[in-house]
Amino acid sequence: MRVLGPADLPAALEVLAGDPVTNVFVEYRSRLTQLDPRWLGGQMWGYLVDGKLQALCHVGANMVPVAGTPESCAAFAARALRHRRVSSTIVGPREAVELLWSDLAEEWGAPREARWDQPHLEIATASEVTADALVRRTTPEEIDTLYPACVAMYEEEVGVSPELDGGRNLYRARVAQLVNRGWSFSRIEDGKVVFKAEVACATPTACQIQGVWVDPERRGEGLCTRGMAAVVDVALREIAPNVALYVNAHNIAARTAYERVGFRQSGTFSTIMF
């Protein structure tokens, strides 16, 4: 096992191509940074058998295994235990996360939260649901309007504020980055966001949606279903030929909306948060 660099990008992309929709986040980070640690903000670890790359592990704010096997996950965990923990989450296919955590749990201690059952959903055709015509790309001029909704979503989903420990500027910069890329979608009424969602990452094969949120006062009106239909239609047409997301199994309202849009489960993710 070793740390990968720019020269390893073709081999890494070959591994990622084994399941490009599931691996969209790591492929996006690989292409964006060319595996240069200066831009990666962390490291990409590679597990090799007879000199051939077999598995990856993205290690930054998120620790994300790719093509994880018992052998590769044991190697990744052993390396992680030799250094201080830098990742605030471990996330990825459930089997690989379980393998990593079985070796890391004793040393890393109790997590803030462990979400073991997160259905991973995909869609590759336009929704049969009528898209919300009022959902559109958020403009840079609307960032001040959008930002409070993003904070509210984060607090509701993660359980802490993204602004803690001086994180406001960094989080706002991330919101602005998605808006400027054309990856932020919202429905704004009377200066207030009532629905929003973002494309978090994209490759030539797939994109992943995150941050889906509906104003609590407007829930139950179908805004999520019609809004997601609008986001999926634009994403498939202009960003990538497959759209993915993962959702907590207990979030029945969201799962019902996604099913109505046309998403179908392709696997199960897990997230461990510190």
- The reported pLDDT for the residue numbered 15 is 98
Contact 4, 16 (CB under 8 A): no
Contact 253, 217 (CB under 8 A): no
Residue ranges of the chain whose pLDDT lies below 50:
none
Q: For residue range 46-58, what is the model confidence (pLDDT) as tens digits?
A: 999 999 999 999 9
End-to-end CA distance of the chain, in Å? 26
- The reported pLDDT for the residue numbered 35 is 98
Q: What are phi and psi of 46, to 5 degrees?
A: -125, 140
> What is the CATH code of the structural domain delimited by 2-109?
3.40.630
Contact 199, 212 (CB under 8 A): no
Each domain of the chain, given as residue ranges in start order, spans: 2-109, 136-268
- Whole-structure pTM value: 0.95
- Specify the CATH superfamily of domain 136-268: Gcn5-related N-acetyltransferase (GNAT) (3.40.630.30)
Same fold, 2-109 and 136-268: yes
- The reported pLDDT for the residue numbered 165 is 84
Determine the Cα–Cα distance for residues 232 and 262; give it in Å rounded to an integer. 10
Determine the Cα–Cα distance for residues 123 and 105; give it in Å rounded to an integer. 34
- Picking from 271, 138, 128, 247, the residue whose alpha carbon sits closest to that of residue 198 is 138
89-93 β-sheet, strand order: 2-3, 43-49, 52-59, 62-66, 89-93, 264-273, 113-123, 243-246, 207-214, 192-202, 184-189, 136-137
